[in-house]
Amino acid sequence: MMALAVTLALALVAAAIALSFWRLLIGPSAPDRILALDTLYINTIALLILLGLRLNSNLYFEAALLIAVIGFVGTLALCKYLLRGDIIE
């Protein structure tokens, strides 16, 4: 029962990633694309957690944490660049 739920959930998250990628491609403005990247990394964290549940492994949380940290810093840097024209003033 849980295997079926995890498979269904993996399909749903994959569809979510496809939708975010669609927004990343069509834009139309730069903040739209940053928002799409932000959503993409959160979706990737969900995918990694589901993979850990499916393979019954604890290893994937470190990867999820790394993606969370680096994705946040990336979003912050891109927003800062658009806001101020510079990242570290």
Partner 1 sequence: MLEALLSLLILAGALFTFIGSLGLARLPDFFTRLHAPTKATTLGVGSLLIASAIHFSTQGEGLSLHEVLVTLFLFITAPVSGHLLGKTGLHLRLPRLGKQADGGLPPGLPPG
Note whether 28 and 51 are within 8 A (CB). no
Which parts of this chain interact with partner 1 (CB under 8 A)?
1-2, 4-6, 8-10, 12-13, 15-17, 19-20, 22-23, 26, 29-32, 34-36, 38-39, 42-43, 45-46, 49-50, 52-53, 58, 61-62, 64-65, 68-69, 72, 75-76, 79-80, 82-83
Note whether 7 and 14 are within 8 A (CB). no
CA distance 66 to 81: 23
- Name the minimum Å distance from CB 20 to partner 1: 5
